[in-house]
Amino acid sequence: MTTALDTDVRPEDRFISAFEVNHGQTLNGTSASISQQREDAIERFAELGIPTNDLELWKYTNIAKIIDRPYTLPLGAEPASVDPSQIEPFLIDGMDAHRVVLVNGRVDESLSDIGELPPGVVVSSLAQAGKDHPDVVEEHYGKYADFEDEAMTALNTAFVQDGAFVYVPSGTVVEKPIFFLHVTSTDQDLFLQPRHLFVVEDGAIAKIVEAQHSLTDTQTFTNTVGEAFVGEKGNLDHYLIQDEGPNASQVHTRAAQQKDDSVYSTQTITYTGEVIRNNATVEADGSFCESNLFGLCVGKDDMHVDNHTRMDHVQPDCNSNELYKHVLNDESTAVFNGKVFVSRGSQRIDAYQQNDTIVLNNEAQIYTKPELEIYADDVVCSHGATTGQLDDEGIFYLRSRGLSERRAKILMLQAFTEEVISELSIEPLRDYVTDLVRSRFATYV
Amino acid sequence: MSTSETEYLKGKASEEYEHGWYTDIESDKAPKGLSEDIVRFISHKKDEPEWLLDWRLKAYEYFEQLLESGHYPDWAHLDYERPDFQNMRYYAAPKGKADYDNLDEVPDEILETFERLGIPLEEQKALTGVAVDAVMDSVSVATTFKEKLKEKGVIFKSFGEAAKEHPEIVREYLGSVVPYTDNMYAALNSAVFSDGSFVYVPEGVTCPMELSTYFRINEQGTGQFERTLIVTEPGAYVSYLEGCTAPMRKENQLHAAVVELVAHEDSEIKYSTIQNWYPGDEDGEGGVYNLVTKRGICKGDNSKISWTQLETGSAVTQKYPSVILAGDNSVGEFYSVAFTKGHQQADTGTKMQHIGKNTKSTIISKGISADYADNSYRGLVKVGKNADGARNFSQCDSMLLGPDCGAHTYPYIESANPSAQIEHEATTSKVGEDQMFYCHQRGLGEEEALKLIVNGFCKEILQELPMEFAVEAKELLAIELEGSVG
C-alpha cells in the first residue's frame, strides 16, 4: 500500500493525513508503548512542522524545499525485486562481513549473507527483532533519539516500520564487521524512513558498516534514524558511506549513548547525494568514555552536505575527539555545525573539535560553526576551524620533485583526507574509501 | 578551591560596586513611556532640524512594527526579562543649559561626579592631553580641548551640536552603517537617541590627541541611548575612547547605544571601550542591560578599523562590534576582554564581512567567567564571492574560575571564495595548577598569582588600548578579580 503525497496542501499536513489514513500500519509485533510513542511523535511533528531556514539549526540547509516534492510514502512491505548481480558493485573488496541487504529500508533475506554469528548475537530486521527480542527492543528503542526538538526524528518515529537491528550480548566479541547495505530500487519518487537499532552490551565489541547506494534515477528522500547503545566497557565502531547518487536527498540522524569506560567511534563518508543532512549525537552517560566523531565529504556538482554533531558530556572524566574534513569543488556546499556540551559537574573533560575545509572552486561554499558550551571549570576543551585552498608551496615542492601539477594536487588532497580515512579500523574498508576518494580527485583537475 | 579562597571570595562578593553613587542634580526629564509625542519632545528639546525629526519618526514607526510583531533579538545565550519600554524615561538632562562654553560654567556637582569616576577634566586637560566629551545621562556636559582640535579642522562635538552645525555631514552618514532597520534596539535608539559624540577628521589629518567620552546613567528609571558617529576622510587617523559607568539601582536600566564608524581611503579609526556599567548585586538583582549595536565600514581602500573592548560591567551585555571590509586591502581588528562574575551574562563578539580584495581581519577574544556568570563569544567571519585573498585569524580563549559558571563559543564562518584563508581556534580551560604552583614557588600569594595569570591571559588585548586607558583597564580588571577570583 502506498500513499501519494498531495502537493497542494502544506507538506506537514500530507504526512499527518497519511498517518491518520494508515493508523493500523505499525512496526510488527511491537508493544503498546511504541504505539503510544508514534502517536506522541506525530503530534510533536505537527507542532514543530518541517524545519525551515528560520531555525538556527537549519540556517544553511533548506530541507523544506526538498521535502515539498510529490514523493510517494510507502506504508507497507512492498516486494522489490533486486537481482544479486545488481548489488555486486556495492560490495567492499576483501571485507569478509556479516552482510545484510536492505532494499527500500527493508531487509531482503535472499540478498543477505549473514553467515555464522557468535552465540547470542542477533543481526536481523527491526521488525523481526520486535517479535523475537521484544525485551531488548523495549529497553532501548526510542530512548536515545529524542524527537522533542527534532521534527524529522518525530516524523520517522511516527512512521516507524522497519530497519536494521543488531544485538551483541555482554562480553561477546563479533570479529567480522556487520555490513548493512542499503539500496533503493524503485521507479517512483520515494520517501523512505528506515529505523535502526544497535545494542552493544557491557564488555561487548562490534564493528558496523553501513553503505547507502541507489539503483534508481528517480528522486528519493530518506529520513533515517539510527540509535546505538554501548554498555560498560563496550566498544562500537560505526561507519557510514553515503553514495546514493545525485537525485537522492536525506536526513540521517544518529544518536548514541555510552556507559562507563566504553568507546564509540563513528565516521561518515559523504560521496554523492543531492541535499544531505547528518545529525550525529553522542551522549557520554558514564565516566571514562571515549567518543570519536569523524567525517569526510568530497563535494562535486551542486551537492549540499550539512553535518551537525552534538557531543554531550554529562558525566566527568571523559574525552572526545572530533574531526570533520571537506573538499569542495564545482558548486558544492558544505555546512559543519559541531557542538560540544559539557554540563555542570562534568569535570575533567578533554574535548577536541576540528573542522578543516579546502575550497577548490569559486562557486563552492563553506559554512562552519564549531561551538562550545561549557558549564564546568576543570576541563580542557578546544576547537579549531580552517578554510583555505591548497598550499602553493606544497605544490611547488612536489613539482620540483618531478610530479605534474595534477599529480601534485591529487597527492596533496589525498594527504588532507588521509587523516580522517586512517581512523577507519577495517583495512579493506579503508582501501575502498581511499580508492573512492582518489577517483573523485581525479575528476577534479 | 581552598577554604581560604572561598572565604576571601565571599568577603569580596559582599563589597559594594565602586562607582555606585548618585549625583543629586535637578534634571529635566521627559515623562515615562514611549510614544510619537516623546520622540517629538526629545527632538524639540534638542532644537533639532526638521529632517532629523522625520528620520526619528520613521525609525519610531519601524520600532513599533517590530514590537508588535515581537521581533525581539533574543536569540543570544542570555536569560533576562524583556525591557518594558513604557516603563522608562527617554530623556533626562541635567537641568539648566545643556551646553557649556567653558569648564567654569559646569556645575560643581557634575564635575565632582566625573572626578570620582577618575576623569577629572582639569587634570586630564593638564596632564594627559586627552580631550573629554562627558555625557551624563543624555546630554553632553562639556567638551574640552575644542580649540586645539579646531585648529586642525577636527570636529569633536556632541551629536546634538553637530546635527545643527554640520547637518550636511551628519545627514550623509547617519544611519549609513547601522540603519534603523538593523534591529529593534537600533530602531529604538534612532527614534529616541538624546545625545552622543560626533567626530569628523578631515583629509590627511592625524588627530593630535586621543578623543574620549565618558557615559554615565545617573537618573533613576532612565535608559541611555547615545549615538556615536565617527568619520575619517582619506589619510586621516583618530583614536577614540569611551568609558561607561552607572550608579547602583534595584531596577534594570537599559543602555541601547549605536556607534557608526566610517573610514575612507587610507584612513584609520581606533575605537576603544571600557565598559563598567553597574552589574547588579550579588543576587543578580538590578544592573544595566547593555544592548548595543556597533559597526564600522572600511569604505575606502587601505583603510583600517580597530575595536578594542574591556567589558567588565552590565548585568546583560549583547554587542558585536563589527567591521564591513568593503575597500580593497582594508583591515578589521577586534580585541576583546569580557569579564563576567556574580550573575552577569555576556554574549559578545564581532562580525567581519570581507567584501573587498585582500582584506584582512584579526579577532582575539578572551572571556573570563566567575561565580554564576555566563560568558559567550559569538562571531561571524563572512567572505564574499569577490573577496579574493581574504585572510582571517580568530582566537577565542575562555577561562573559567569556579564550578558554577559557563563559557561558550559560537563562531560562524561562511566562505564563498576559494582563495580565502580562515583560521579559527578556541580553547576553554581553568587556571592551571602548575601555573599557580610556579607562582607560589616564587613567593606570590593566591590572589597575586591569579591576578598575574589573568593579566597575562588578557595582555594581548590590554596592550592594544591607548596608554592612559591601559593603566585604567589593568586596575579595573584587578578590582574585578579581587571580588571574584577563587
DSSP B261-310: EEE-TT-EEEEEEEEE-----TTS-SEEEEEEEEEEEE-STT-EEEEEEE
* Rounded mean pLDDT for each run of 10 residues along chain A, 445 residues in total: 59 84 58 81 92 90 90 76 90 94 91 93 92 91 92 92 94 96 91 95 96 93 96 96 94 96 96 95 96 95 94 95 94 94 92 93 90 90 89 93 93 94 95 94 84
Quote the pLDDT of residue A131: 87
Closest CA to A224 of A311, A285, A150, A298: A150
Q: How many CB pairs under 8 A join A and B?
A: 112
Q: Are A99 and A181 in contact (CB under 8 A)?
A: yes
Percent of all residues in chain B with a pLDDT value above 90, rounded to a whole number: 37
Q: What ipTM is given for this predicted complex? A: 0.79
Which of A255, A286, A317 is the last residue before a domain boundary?
A: A286
> Within a domain: residue A330?
no
Any A CB within 8 A of B362 CB:
no
Q: What letter represents residue A147's amino acid?
A: F
Q: B87-129: per-residue pLDDT in tens? A: 887 877 654 433 445 555 555 655 565 565 555 454 444 333 3
> Does some domain include residue A348?
no
Are B425 and A380 a contacting pair at CB < 8 A? Answer: no
Interface test with B, best of A331, A358, A372 (most B CBs within 10 A): A372
A278 CB neighbour count, 10 Å cutoff: 23
The predicted model gives B177-197 an average pLDDT of 90
Q: Considering the entire predicted model, what is its pTM?
A: 0.84
Interface membership of A293 toward B (CB under 8 Å) = no
Distance to chain A for B74, nearest Cα, Å: 12
**Contact list, A56 vs chain B (CB under 8 Å):** 75
For residues B466 and A237, which has the higher predicted lDDT (pLDDT)? A237
pLDDT at residue B3 in the model: 44
- Per the structure, the complete domain to which residue A403 belongs is given by 394-445
Residues of A in contact with B401 (CB under 8 A): 377
DSSP A245-301: -TTEEEEEEEEEEE-TT-EEEEEEEEEE-SEEEEEEEEEE-STT-EEEEEEEEEE-T
Query: Could you tell me if A397 lies within 8 Å of chain B, comparing CB atoms?
Result: no
Tens of pLDDT, residues B358-393: 999 999 999 999 889 999 999 999 999 999 999 999
Record the cell numbers describing residue B25, joined without a space: 542634580
The pLDDT score that the predictor gives to residue A4 is 57
* Average pLDDT value for residue range B159-170: 89
Beta-sheet pairing, B211-216 with A319-328: unpaired
The answer to the question of residue A366 being in a domain is no
Contact A264, A230 (CB under 8 A): yes
β partners of residue A123: A166
Evaluate whether residue A422 is within a structural domain. Answer: yes
* Burial per residue of B154-171, b for 16 or more beta-carbon CB atoms within 10 angstroms, e otherwise: bbbbbbbbbbbeeeebbe
pLDDT value of residue A188: 87
pLDDT at residue B64, as a whole number: 92
Q: How far apart are CA A199 and CA B273, in angstroms?
A: 55
Stretch among A392-401, B115-124, B249-258, B288-297 having the lowest mean pLDDT: B115-124
User: Is A390 part of the contact surface with chain B (CB cutoff 8 Å)?
Assistant: no
Residue from the list A56, A368, A374 with its beta carbon closest to the beta carbon of B413:
A368
CB atoms within 10 A of CB B290: 26
Do A281 and A423 fall within a single domain? no
Residue B427 in contact with partner chain A when CB distance is under 8 A: yes
Residues of A in Cβ contact (< 8 Å) with B433: none
pLDDT at B482 over 90: no
- pLDDT, residue A73, reads 85
What is the pLDDT confidence band of residue B455, given thresholds at 50, 70 and 90? confident
Please report the residues numbered 38 through 67 in chain A whose beta carbons come closer than 8 angstroms to any beta carbon of chain B.
56
Alpha-carbon distance of B407 to B176, in angstroms, equals: 34
Q: Is beta strand A190-192 parallel, antiparallel or unpaired with respect to A220-230?
A: parallel
Distance CA A98, CA A107 (A): 13
Q: What are the phi and psi torsion angles at A347 (to 5°)? A: -80, 165
Alpha carbon distance A95, B45 (integer Å) = 83
Question: Could you tell me if A126 and A247 lie in one domain?
Answer: yes
**How would residue B166 be classed by pLDDT, with cut points 50, 70 and 90?**
very high
Q: What is the mean pLDDT of residues B386-402?
A: 91
Task: Tell me which of A267, A286, A305 is where a domain ends.
Answer: A286
Pick from A235, A268, A286: which residue ends a domain?
Answer: A286
pLDDT of residue A316: 95
Residue A109 belongs to some domain of the structure: yes
Q: Does B245 touch chain A (CB under 8 A)?
A: no
**Separation in Å, CA of A226 to nearest CA in chain B:** 27
A276-285, B22-31, B296-305: range with lowest mean pLDDT: B22-31
- How are beta strands B197-201 and B155-158 bridged, if at all? antiparallel
Say if the Cβ atoms of A378 and B430 lie within 8 Å. Answer: yes
3-state SS class at B190? helix
Spatial distance between the Cα atoms of A80 and B66, rounded to a whole number of angstroms = 54
Helix axes B184-192, B50-68, angle to 10 degrees: 150
Q: What is the mean pLDDT of chain B?
A: 81
Using an 8 Å CB-CB cutoff, list chain A residues near B412: 367-369
Using the beta-carbon criterion (under 8 Å), do A359 and B406 form an inter-chain contact? no
Q: Do A384 and B402 touch (CB under 8 A)?
A: no
A43 and A162 fall within a common domain? yes
Q: How far is B413 from chain A (nearest CA, A)?
A: 5
The answer to whether B404 faces chain A, any CB pair under 8 Å, is yes
Taking the C-alpha atoms of residue A110 and residue A116, their distance in angstroms, rounded to an integer, is 16
Specify which residues B397 forms β-bridges with. B366, B427
Whole-number pLDDT of residue B8 = 47
Q: Which residue has the cell 519618526?
A: B57
pLDDT tens figures, A137-162: 989 999 999 999 999 999 999 988 88
Instruction: Confirm whether A443 is domain-assigned.
Output: yes
**Chain B nearest-CA residue for A341:** B408
Tell me how far the alpha carbon of residue A296 is from its chain's centroid: 12
To the nearest 10°, report the CA torsion of B46, B49, B54, B55. Answer: -80
Which pLDDT does position A2 carry in this prediction? 52
3-state secondary structure of A164: strand
pLDDT of amino acid B86:
86
Chain B residues with CB-CB distance to A369 below 8 A: 410-413
Nearest CA in chain A to B379: A369
For residue B414, give the chain A residue with the closest CA.
A367
**CA-based nearest residue in chain B for residue A330:** B418
Q: Do A387 and B420 touch (CB under 8 A)?
A: yes
Question: For residue A386, which residues of chain B lie inside 8 Å, CB to CB?
Answer: 421-424
* CA-based nearest residue in chain A for residue B388: A362
Q: Pick the residue with more confidence: B2 or A54?
A: A54
CB contact under 8 A, A382 and B428: yes
User: What's the pLDDT at B142?
Assistant: 46
Chain A CB contacts of B416 below 8 Å: 364-365
Q: Do the Cβ atoms of B406 and A345 come within 8 Å?
A: no
How many angstroms away from the CA of B322 is the closest CA of chain A? Answer: 18
Alpha-helix residue ranges (DSSP H) falling in A333-404: 392-400
Contact B426 A367 (CB under 8 A): no
Instruction: Please report the pLDDT score of residue B111 as a whole number.
Output: 59
Q: Is B375 on the interface with A (CB under 8 A)?
A: no
* Nearest-Cα residue of chain B relative to residue A358: B418
How many domains are there within chain A? 2
What's phi and psi for B49, nearest 5 deg? -70, 160
Positions of E strands within B277-405: 287-298, 304-311, 316-319, 322-325, 331-340, 345-348, 351-354, 360-370, 374-383, 391-401
**Strand bridging mode B227-232 / B258-263:** parallel
Q: A216 with A75, same domain?
A: yes
CB A332 within 8 A of CB A301: yes
Confidence of residue B83 (pLDDT cuts 50, 70, 90): confident
Indicate whether A156 belongs to any domain: yes
Q: Do A380 and B428 touch (CB under 8 A)?
A: yes
Report the distance separating Cα A197 and Cα A144, nearest Å.
10
Quick check: B419 contacting A, CB < 8 Å? yes
Q: Which pLDDT band, with edges at 50, 70 and 90, does B277 fall under?
A: confident
Both A271 and A406 in a single domain?
no
Cβ contact, residue pair A366, B403, below 8 Å: no
- Whether A388 is in a domain gets the answer no
Element (H, E) at B479: helix B467-484
Window 316-375 of A: residues touching B by CB (8 A cutoff) are 344-345, 347, 357, 359-362, 364-375
Nearest residue in B to A369, CA atom = B412
pLDDT one-digit tens code per residue, B317-338: 999 999 999 999 999 999 999 9
The grid coordinates of residue B336 equal 576583546
Considering only the beta carbons, identify the residue of B405, B408, B418 that sits closest to A360: B418
DSSP 8-class letter at A303: -
Per this entry, what is the length of chain B?
Answer: 486
Residue A439 CB: number of other CB atoms within 10 A? 11
